[in-house]
Amino acid sequence: AFPSSSKDEL
């Protein structure tokens, strides 16, 4: 869903 930002981090 967010491949280009850091929202796939914890």
Partner 1 sequence: MNIFRFAGDMTHLISILVLLLKIYATKSCAGISLKTQELYALVFVTRYLDLFTDFISVYNSVMKVVFILTSSAIVWCMRRHRIVKRSYDQALDTFRHLFLVLGCLVLALIVHDKFTFQEVFWAFSIYLEAVAILPQLVLLQRSGNVDNLTGQYVFFLGAYRAFYILNWIYRYLTEQHFRLWISCISGLVQTALYADFFYYYYISWKNNSKLQLPS
The CB-of-9 to partner 1 minimum distance in angstroms stands at: 7
Q: Give least dist CB 2 to partner 1, A.
A: 7
Which token pair is 4? Answer: 């280009």
Give the number of residues in contact with partner 1, rule: CB under 8 A: 10
Site for partner 1 in 1-10 (CB under 8 A): 1-10
CA 8 to chain centre: 3
CA gap 5, 1 in Å, rounded: 9
Residues in touch with partner 1 (CB under 8 A): 1-10
